[in-house]
Chain A
Amino acid sequence: MSRRAAFKFILFVAGDTENSALALGNLSAFCRTHLPNRHEIEVVDVIRQPKRAMKDGIFMTPTLVKAGPSPVRRIIGTLSEPHILLQVLGLGDLAA
């Protein structure tokens, strides 16, 4: 049943830079492929919300925070490698 639980992602980006766009694109594509209808993505622009970035300790952008289910994990970068994402999310067997 836990496999069925919805994934909650928070993606911190810095404005509409290339990295931001790439990360958002990669995440969306990944979720469509591996987690259809099981995901929720919140996008936070640190330039608009610097205090939130400070509070959450976001220093490198883009940063993807998997807020749920626990454990909370962080991945930095443009998420250009889906297999890393799969491993981190504990979905390794889906890739096989």
Chain B
Amino acid sequence: MSSARTRRAGVQIKAPTGIIGFDEITGGGLPRGRTTLLAGGPGSGKTIFALQFLVHGARYCKEPGIFVAFEETPKRIVTNFETFGWKLAALQKQKLFFLDAHPTPDLIQSGTFDLSGMLAAMGAKIKEMGTRRIVFDAMDIVLTLLPDQAAKRREIYRLHEWLLARDLTGVITAKAGGDQESSLDQQPFGFMQFMVDCAVILNHSVVQGVSQRNLRVQKYRGSSFDEHESPFLIGKNGFEVAGARTLGHSHTQVIHERVSSGVERLDTMLGGGYYRGASVLITGFPGTAKTTLSGAFAEAACLRGEPTMFVSFDSDFSEVIRNLASVGILLDRFVKSGLLRIVSVRTITGNAETYLLRIKTFAKEHVARCVAIDPVSTMSSSASEVVAHSVVERLIDWSKSEGITMLCTSLVDEMASRTVGMSSLQISTLADTWIHLNYLAQAGERNRGLSIIKSRGTAHSNQVRELILSDAGVTLADIYTAGGEVLMGTLRWEKESAERAANEVAEVAGKLKHVRLDAEEAELEMKVKALQTELVAKQTEKELLTRTSESRERELSRGRTRLRELRGADADLSRRKRVS
């Protein structure tokens, strides 16, 4: 052991497999310097997993590997995996060695044997190559040749000890029959499971006619791991594990920014729009304008200049554009400018897991900030309910961790569930905002109603609104309630015009009254003026009167005095009168 290696081992105790998802589940890969058992039925992907582990080590970790093929000839394996683009031929020169150990059909056996020969032969090769990783593919083939349980155990033990002594990261693959749980408990697998430090079980089953591949880490000594079954796929680059319930860390950031729903009044109802990074669920019966709302959302995102992806499970690319153009949502221009990517999933065959992975891959390629999926409920038809639910759960989890605002529509079967709130995928609890669309059949009409059932962290309107689609776009209209009944469509229109007429009448009447009052006011004012004039006249008259009488008095007394003066006698008379 060189000091460099010891130092690295101290830091890095896990050997990355390069398998998307698996390194996340296990928190870094397989236990370095230990042995991992990879068990699964035929065609469950054991060889791919094991080979990918080696290829990753050889290409990216400077860890040359040896692949011991007990089942197939190396030539066939190389041919089979050519399509994954792993550059096996180039790797084989130095970093990857295939050991053809498959027993020839004419092999004759007499008595017991052991694997010392192989281990000795490999010991030399390991020294020569500096091998760090080793895979024993289809160990069960050799084990079946061994005559008894004791011999099988002995050889497994020998192999294990040999690996440990050389500090090699080993993977042993072994077939476990169709009924994997029970056959795994059988000897010698049971023994192997106890012995190894890590055990991974691959399962390939068909649920309701849909192929499902699952992977489960059964044990992992000295490490925490996701112990649930994680679906996986064999994609074009190899093994991809879809288990994204990542351990320990979550990227979810709470953002207060709002993004428009594409419908102005809906934004108002939501108190400003959807939250950025939120997942929005729109449920509704067929034809309730779910796609239209998704389109409006996508258009609004494009108008903001954000890369957007529209995933349609229902329609083809061109159909989506045409149909949405009919309601004034013009997506064509954004597709041309490259801002919008429309993915028609009808072209992807497969199960819900495939859809999820494709959506993730496409969104990654497009660096999408907003994603609309229409409708997400399609997934339930291509997988069992449990799987579909888990897929949608992971879809939401993924969009949140990526900060992608996601809008999903979900079809509600009109026949199956009349009750509002029945979402076939039960994702309503996961969504941040849930908008329900339904029909109101009334007076020979069907009208679309929109209501916000929930919207976390936003004040939102409790009202049902009528959704109106026209060439000009999508609008929401207030609805009227009359006698406890909700009015929509023409009824609403009638009510509206009736109300308008009533308003007009009231307005005219008001004006009339105003005029009349004006007149009365004027009349009264005139009266007031006349009276005031009269008052002034009277006052003047009164003053005049007072003045006249005073002057007359004065004139009178002056006259008398003058008269007396003129008479003269009268003064003595008066004096006389006083004497007598």
Contact = CB atoms under 8 A, between A and B. Distances in A.
Contacts of B120: 14, 46-47, 50, 53
Contacts of A85: 110
Where chain B touches its partner, the secondary structure class is: mixed
Contact of B121 (A17, A50, A74, A77): A50
Interface in B83-118: 99-101, 104, 106-118
Contacts of A17: 114, 116
B185 to A, nearest CB: 27
Contacts of B476: none
Nearest to A50: B124
Contacts of A78: 110-113
A75 B123 contact: no
Where chain A touches its partner, the secondary structure class is: mixed
A84 B142 contact: no
A76 B142 contact: no
A54 interface: yes
Interface string A33-74: 000000000000011001101100111111100000000011
B125 interface: yes
Given A46-B121, A50-B123, A54-B121, A60 B110 contact: no
Given A50-B123, A51-B124, A60-B142, A74 B108 contact: yes
Contact of B115 (A51, A59, A79, A88): A59
Q: On chain A, which size bracket covers the interface?
A: 20 to 34
A84 to B, nearest CB: 4
A28 interface: no
A84 B123 contact: no
Contacts of A46: 116-117, 120-121
A70 to B, nearest CB: 14
Given A50-B124, A54-B124, A54-B125, A60 B117 contact: yes
B468 to A, nearest CB: 77
A73 to B, nearest CB: 7
* Residue from B106, B108, B120 with most neighbouring chain A CB atoms (10 Å): B120
A17 B99 CA distance: 24
Given A59-B101, A59-B115, A81 B124 contact: no
B125 A23 contact: no
Contacts of A84: 108, 110
Contacts of B111: 22-23, 26, 77-81
* Residue from B99, B109, B125 with most neighbouring chain A CB atoms (10 Å): B109
A53 B113 contact: no
A57 B108 CA distance: 15
A12 to B, nearest CB: 6
B143 to A, nearest CB: 12
Contacts of B108: 73-76, 84, 88
Contacts of B145: 60, 76
Given A54-B124, A57-B100, A14 B117 contact: yes
B117 A59 contact: yes
Given A50-B120, A75-B109, A77-B110, 17 more contacts: A19-B112, A26-B111, A47-B116, A50-B121, A50-B124, A53-B120, A54-B122, A57-B100, A59-B115, A61-B116, A63-B117, A73-B108, A76-B110, A76-B113, A80-B111, A81-B110, A84-B108
10 contacts: A23-B111, A58-B121, A59-B115, A60-B113, A60-B114, A73-B108, A76-B109, A76-B145, A80-B111, A81-B111
Interface of A: 12, 14-15, 17, 19, 22-23, 26, 46-47, 50-51, 53-54, 57-63, 73-81, 84-85, 88
Q: A-B pairs with the 9 shortest C-beta distances?
A: A14-B116, A78-B111, A80-B111, A59-B118, A61-B117, A77-B111, A50-B124, A53-B121, A54-B121
